Amino acid sequence: MSDAKLLTPKTSIHTQSPRTKRRNAAETRFKVFGMIAISIGLLMLVALMGTILSKGIGAFQQSFITMEVELLEAKLDKKGNRNLSDIKKVTTFGYTPLIKNAFAKAVKDQGIETDLKTKDMAKMLSKSAAAQLRNVVIDNPQKIGQTIKFRFLANSRIDGYLKGRVSRESIANDKNVSVAQLDFADQLLKAGVLKKTFNIDFIIGADASDQRPEAAGIGVAMMGSLFMMLVVLGLSLPIGVAASIYLEEFAPKNWITDVIEVNISNLAAVPSIVFGILGLAVFINYMHLPQSAPLVGGLVLTLMTLPTIIISTRASLKSVPPSIRDAALGVGASKMQSVFHHVLPLAAPGILTGTIIGLGQALGETAPLLLIGMIGFIASNMPTTIGEGLLSPNSAMPAQIYEWAKRADPAFYERAWGGIIILLVFLVSMNTLAVILRRRFERRW
C-alpha cells in the first residue's frame, strides 16, 4: 500500500488538472447557452408585450366632445304632455338639429372663429350621437325643455387624429373627414370641448356596426366568454376528475383501459376545429340547440378541455406516494375512503392547476366557435338572466377580437389589440390564481 502511494505523482489541489479544466469549460459553455436561450425568450416576450401594449392601449381611451344641448320642447314633444309613446315617435333625425344648435352655441361661447358649417361640425360626432341623446331623453322625459351638458362620442377619424393615427396628409382621399374639420378639432381641443379620456364603454359595452368603431366595446362578448367558462368549469371539472379517479384508482389494468388511455392522449392532440365541427353536427344539427349560444360554445369547449383535465388529474393522482394509500388501507379504510380522505386532498393542487390551465386554453380558443356561429354575430345587449346568458346568441372575446381584426377600418384594428390586452389580463390572472392556489394547498409528505 505504501508502494502505491509512492508511485502516484503528488498533485496539488490548488492547481487545476487538465481534466478538471475541460470539465469546467464544458460547464461554463452550457451555462452560457442556457443564458442566451433565456435572454432570447425574454426579448421575444418583451417585444410581444411592447407591441401589444403600444398598439392596444389606445382602445382604452376615446375622444369625446362635451357640449350643452338644449332639449327643445318644440322638437321633441310637440304636444307638451311628456307622453312617452309620443316622445318615442321622434326619430334620431329629430335630434340632429339640436346637435347642430349645440355646436353653434359652443362656438359662440368659446369665441371660436371658424367657417365650418354646423352640418359639417355635427358630422364630426359618432353616427350614434343622435341615438345616444335620444336614449337619454327617453329615459328622462322630464329633462325636455332644459339645457343639459352632454358628452358626445367623436367619430373615429377625429379620435384617430387625437391618437395620431390620422393626419392632414393621410386624409387626402378620405371623404369622411376634411382638413377644415381637423382644424376645427384643434380649436375645440384648445377650448377644452374636445377631450381624450378613459373609456369604460370599451370594457363593458357591446360591439357596434362597421360604421361606428368608436362605439364598439368588448363587454358583451366578455359575458359570452364568462358563460361559456361557467359551462366548461361546471361540466369538465366534475366529469374529468371523476373519470381520472376511476381510471387511476379503481379501473382494472387491462387492454380496455389501455385503449381508453391512449385515446384520451390522442384527444388532447386533436385540433380544436374538429371539436367545433363535432359540436355543429351533434349539438346544433342533431340536438337542435340554438346557434351562437354560449351554452353550445361551452359544451364544445368542454369536450376540448376534458382530455387536458383528465391527463393532469391523473398525473397528480399518480404523484401521490403509494405508501399513503397503503397506510389508509392498512387501518381498514375502504378504497374510496383512502382516495377521498387522503389521495385527493394531496392531488388537489395539481388538479386545480390543470383545470385552470385547461380553462385558460378554452378561454382563448377561437376556431371551434367559428363553426357554431359565435363569430361575426353582433350581440347588442347584456344578458339579464342566467338562462338568457346561456341561450341567447352571443360572441366570445377571442371571436370578437378576430371579428375586429377582420374589418377594414383601422379604428377597429386598434380595438382588436385592446381586446387582446383584456384577454391577456384574464389569462395572466387565471395563471396567477393557479400558482397561488398551488402554493397555498401544497403540502409536504
Partner 1 sequence: MFDAPTIGSTVELQDSKITASGVHVFYGDTHAIKDVNVNIAAKTVTAFIGPSGCGKSTFLRCLNRMNDTIDTCRVEGNIHLDGEDIYDRRVDPVQLRAKVGMVFQKPNPFPKSIYDNVAYGARIHGLARNKSELDAIVEKALRRAALWGEVKDRLGAPGTGLSGGQQQRLCIARAVATEPEVLLMDEPCSALDPIATAQVEELIDDLRTRFSVVIVTHSMQQAARVSQKTAFFHLGHLVEFGDTPTIFTNPSDERTESYITGRIG
Residues that bind partner 1 (CB under 8 A): 253, 321-335, 337, 341-342, 346, 443-445
CB nearer partner 1, residue 146 or residue 323: 323
The pair phi, psi for residue 393, each rounded to 5°, is -55, 140
Contacts 24+ apart (CB under 8 A), 27-30: none
Nearer to partner 1, 149 or 444 (CB): 444
Q: How far is the CB of 332 from partner 1 (least distance, A)?
A: 3
Q: List Cβ neighbours of 356 (8 Å cut-off, separation of 6 or more).
A: 430, 431, 433, 434, 437
Min dist CB 258 to partner 1, Å, is 13
CB of 318 to partner 1, least distance (A): 14
Q: How far apart, in Å, are the Cα atoms of 206 and each of 36, 139, 222, 416?
A: 45, 19, 9, 14
Least CB distance from residue 444 to partner 1, whole Å? 6
- What is the rounded CA–CA span in Å between residue 298 and residue 359? 11
Residue 186 or 326: the one with the smaller Cβ distance to partner 1 is: 326
Which CB sits closer to partner 1, 99 or 247?
Answer: 247
149 neighbors 122 (Cβ within 8 angstroms):
no
Nearest residue (CB) to partner 1, 171 versus 344: 344
Cα separation, 264 vs 398, whole angstroms: 26
Rounded-to-integer distance, Cα 395 and Cα 218, Å: 10
Tell which residue, 142, 155, 68, 145, has the closest CA to residue 108.
68
Kindly list the distances between the CA atom of residue 168 and the CA atoms of 62, 124, 127, 160, 173, in Å, as whole numbers in the listed order: 20, 15, 22, 11, 11
111 vs 332 by CB, closer to partner 1: 332
Nearest-approach distance from CB 337 to partner 1, in angstroms: 6
Question: Which H/E stretch holds residue 404?
Answer: helix 397-406
Nearest approach in angstroms of CB 326 to partner 1 is 6
Cell of 321: 406516494
Q: Distance between the two ends of the chain, CA-based, in angstroms?
A: 47
Minimum CB separation of residue 253 from partner 1 in Å reads 5
Please, what is the minimum distance in Å from the beta carbon of residue 350 to partner 1? 14
Nearer to partner 1 (CB atom), residue 34 or residue 345: 345
Find the shortest distance in angstroms from Cβ 307 to partner 1: 25
Amino acid, res. 409: D
Q: CB-hemisphere CA count at 13 Å for 232?
A: 30
Nearer to partner 1, 173 or 254 (CB): 254
Alpha carbon 350 to chain centroid, angstroms: 25
SS3 269: helix
For 63-73, letters b (16+ CB in 10 Å) and e give: bbbbbebebee
Closer Cβ to partner 1, 19 or 443, answer by number: 443
